[in-house]
Chain A
């Protein structure tokens, strides 16, 4: 009798409710209370998001803004699953993801760039390599070039550092530098650009990539579009005039059914006040033409 009872209990628990439907349904009204704005997503943008939050909360007492990291992929998944209404992403959303959001959340998806970033490639300060072409970068990161002396450095193996596959930076690099090829299996994946920088600063043969705002103790190298072009450093001027080959937008993705406080926050982020925060953190503000005015 006891055995039957236990078995019945187990089966009942296993059959109990299809979990897949509940998260979207439960979170449909808003991702949190009316006063709290929850943002999730890019580790590249997490400090920027926190600065936005701090400054906004200072100017608007009574509003609470919470910022989490986890990677652009995590933020986008959370937006689809209904856990948040605003996702930060360092890569544009794919069409399939956009369709998923609109279908599961029953709302229109809005894409707002809030900053410009140069995806910089870093080497250790003791490394003599100053510049690489995009093609050389691709060959290094797909494992075809394995020694520094093949690209103008010392005779030492190249140690690759990269990001987790939940990272928007990972996806952006894969798409725009590797042309969608796979990373070499030897790429050590680390959590967050800061961890990548830390690893490269301790490893004389290391190479890593990440947002320009984090460059401490390592040297970003100039990137050449091809062998004939000049090397372009990742600076604000070069990103603004489009000569740096791997520059990108940093995005806020939010749905039309989000609370008015959230929409106000997004407007504030693209205003001159919000953009001052962008410079503060080390990214590049949007060009004058795409900013909004404060309300």
Chain B
């Protein structure tokens, strides 16, 4: 051991240099792996959906026209756009599913965004320091509840409670699913908004208070606008999460693929459809390719919403700093 006269590669100036390069490669590699995962997921999902465009036998039943435009005999839109992939004449319209996804997302955001922002405002501006110290971890605990538990709770307890209070015809409807979804989105909105509000520089608040504004006026008219990029970013993240949420909507939404704008009707989302039906399809079926196309659609929707959100947030931040 001591006889060896080899250069110890991890010591000395040369060693430091090599260590540095090694860690750079490791971190860069890790970053690239993350990007590669996302790209590969998209590639593989889209590859399974490709027969819609390349194979005639599959395209006969499952094609873009069928997904987005095809109408069946009927007087109301509820009768015209149908998703019933199993039967003699399979019907693959995505319209009821897209509508269901949007309805649930809308109710979820309606619940989570105002309450989340208000809670964040309270936590960063009005709460005494002791309270603030445990409010944040408690709300973040809400994020730790598995979505299947939330869905179960909504299915058994929340649905009956809502039906007793509002007299819905359908026990499982968009309000029920959206409310449960809102509970899942609340921590997302809260955490990011609260972070944004806490990082508003102190001199903003001090200046406002010095000019005679009340604490509420300061919070509402100075801190909140200053934190708007973060608040909006939290909304975008919540939207992305809501679009992709599967388990809550599968259990609490009633799973009826209806083309209806009413929030008291049951709904079925894209993600719930994939979760429920992918187990039974045979490889190469039109149904199989349609479900994978649905997955690609979800991926693209989330990607686009995140990108648009980031762009808007970037613009807001630049405007806040007076650059544009």
Contacts and interface: CB of A to CB of B under 8 A. Distances in A.
A binds B: yes
A73 B169 contact: no
Given A10-B43, A180-B88, A186 B281 contact: no
Interface string A171-202: 10010000010110111111100000001001
Interface residues on B, range: 35 or more
A6 interface: yes
Q: Which of A6, A77, A189, A190 is packed against the most chain B CB atoms within 10 Å?
A: A189
Contact of B257 (A157, A185, A190, A205): A185
B281 to A, nearest CB: 6
Interface stretch (A158-166, A208-216, A224-232): A158-166
A165 B257 CA distance: 12
Interface in B23-77: 32, 36, 39-40, 43-44, 47
A54 interface: no
Contacts of B322: none
A13 interface: yes
B276 interface: yes
A185 B282 CA distance: 24
A73 B96 contact: no
B312 to A, nearest CB: 28
18 contacts: A14-B44, A73-B86, A74-B279, A81-B282, A81-B283, A159-B171, A166-B277, A166-B279, A170-B86, A180-B87, A185-B82, A185-B83, A185-B257, A185-B259, A188-B255, A188-B256, A188-B266, A199-B172
B283 A185 contact: no
A10 B40 contact: yes
A262 to B, nearest CB: 22
Given A165-B84, A202-B160, A202-B171, A186 B282 contact: no
A170 B85 CA distance: 13
Contact of A165 (B78, B85, B96): B85
A80 interface: yes
B255 A165 contact: no
Interface in A227-268: none
A100 interface: yes
Contacts of A188: 170, 172, 254-256, 266
A77 B86 contact: no
A203 interface: yes
B194 interface: no
Contacts of B160: 202
A187 B280 contact: no
B268 interface: yes
A6 B36 contact: yes
Contacts of A73: 86, 279-280
Given A10-B39, A185-B259, A186-B266, A20 B280 contact: no
A217 to B, nearest CB: 14
A68 to B, nearest CB: 10
Contacts of B83: 185
Given A14-B43, A166-B276, A188-B266, A77 B281 contact: yes
Interface string A66-105: 0000110110110011000000000000000000100000
B276 A80 contact: no
A235 B280 CA distance: 31
Contact of B86 (A19, A20, A165, A202): A165
A189 B276 contact: yes
Contacts of B86: 73, 165-166, 170-171
A1 B48 CA distance: 30
B103 interface: no
Given A185-B259, A190-B255, A191-B250, 5 more contacts: A159-B169, A165-B277, A170-B86, A188-B266, A202-B160
Contact of A186 (B43, B256, B276, B279): B256
